Structure 1
Amino acid sequence: MHKMNITYRDASVNDFSTIIQIFVKNMSHSVFTKATDKDVLSCIAAIQMAEEFHIASCIKIAEWDGEICGVLIGATDASVPPAVSFDYNAMIRDANIKLTTTSEGQMVLTEMLLHNKNVKFESECEVILDCDGELMFFAVNQEYRRYKIGSCLVKNFEEFLQKCGSKKYFLHTDSQSTFQYYENNGFECVWKKQSIFNSSVEHYTYVKELGACCVSRS
């Protein structure tokens, strides 16, 4: 690669389709579905990203020479404007309609109902009741890793949280992800359980307290 020209900015609704591609490209799909069809996976990504865009307080984009290479989506309980405003219901509706047209898509709709019940239980877990922020989605394309892009995105998010007065935030990850990053950067694992879709995968909940200075090591 040539000399780095990395920039960071807030997201806009125009970034939505690219963020979906980053989701599909980087996520371990077997963690939350048995589906393998690319169109079905894109629908799953569209639904999840639309929901997270809707509730997000902070969406940070990393660009390498103008190409989006990383994204972080987070939220705070503080009273702040939404990161972006758009018709998320229409996007979710369109993706759900597409899923009904194939047998694999219909299977995914059933899986999503089961997943939503599971998430509701997680959200009520006592270990995150004192958190006032959440890191909902975080990914950097493989070819752009090892350049501290992820660390910079997390740092930007933590600075945003501190400006909002947040004291502690949480995130969910799994054993298929680079969860070692969190363990090396001040996060504490407070919850663990087996995936309902893949018995070889474990889900983790991490929390991090925001001190006067937040430093990330890539």
Structure 2
Amino acid sequence: MEIDLRLMRASDYDEILKMVITTWDYRSWVPKDLVEPMAEYFLSDLLQKSDHIVVVTVDGKPAGICAGDVLDYTKIQRFCLRKKTAALGAILKQTEPDSIFEKYIQTMALDQELLLQSKREFEGSLNLLLVNGKYRGLGLGKKLYNNFCEYLQKNGVRSFYLYTDDSSDYGFYEHNGLEKLVEKRFYWDEGNEETAETYYLYGRDFN
């Protein structure tokens, strides 16, 4: 078995999209016709704002991905990002009220709210860390995470953050030196506890 790390290629996209759909079980909670568009919006949004995107391969086939960046946004750019998300949410509330996509945009706004609540300024962000389930146990997530941390440190980054939720393996981040900073409950169906998720902001400072 040959394991390798390399920069993502356009030809990797379809395989990574399948990983996203499977890992977050899109087919169980997103209407059939929206599965791929929703997953593509999620994936392309994260990749578009990442300047370091690395794929781990097993015998030449993509088995996981890590995407993140050195934050060089100005305060006004971050302010505009929050405004853009809020505007899209307002549009959907009028055109697609209570749609699954409207709820997804609400989670994006919630993430930005968590960052504001932390009252912290970070120099980097980990936007996506994902390993194909059938390759778990090989330490691929750790390889991707360590590679990302090395990239940040080479670029003089002293701290970074990430968003996650209680449906993900957030214990991995705690085991690897991140601290839970802020959390908030979110209801995909208002008032229905069975649809509730807790969203977290984690951070790490490099010593």
TM-score scaled to structure 1, two decimals?
0.74
Which residue in the other structure is 1:202 paired with? 198
2:180 matched residue in structure 1: 189
Residue of structure 2 aligned with 1:134, choices 106, 125, 135:
125
Percentage identity across paired residues of the two chains: 23
Would you say the 8 A contact 2:126–2:161 is kept in 1? Answer: yes
- Match for residue 109 of structure 2 among 117, 127, 151: 117
Question: Are 1:42 and 2:36 counterparts?
Answer: yes
Q: Deviations over 1:180-218 (max 9, x none)?
A: 11111111111111123164421111111123xxxxxxx
Contact (CA 8 Å) 1:78, 1:165: kept in 2 or not?
no
1:33-182 equivalences in 2 (<5 Å): 35-78=29-72, 107-127=99-119, 129-182=120-173
Please state whether the residue corresponding to 1:178 is helix, strand or coil: coil
Structure with the bigger RCO (C-alpha within 8 Å, sep 6+) is 1
Counterpart for residue 27 of structure 1:
24
- Does the CA contact (< 8 Å) of 2:114 and 2:182 recur in 1? no
| Change beyond 3 A, Cα 1:39–1:155 | farther
Q: What residue ranges of structure 2 are gaps of 5+ in the alignment? A: 74-95
Residue 191 and residue 159 in structure 1: after superposition, are their counterparts in 2 closer, same or farther (change >3 A)? Answer: same
Structure 1, unpaired ranges of 5+:
80-103, 212-218
Cα shift at 1:131:
1.2
Corresponding position of 2:87: none
CA 1:174–1:113 in 2, change beyond 3 Å: closer, same or farther? Answer: closer
Q: Normalized per residue, which structure has more helix?
A: 2
What amino acid maps onto 1:115 in structure 2?
A: T
Matched, 1:5 2:10: no
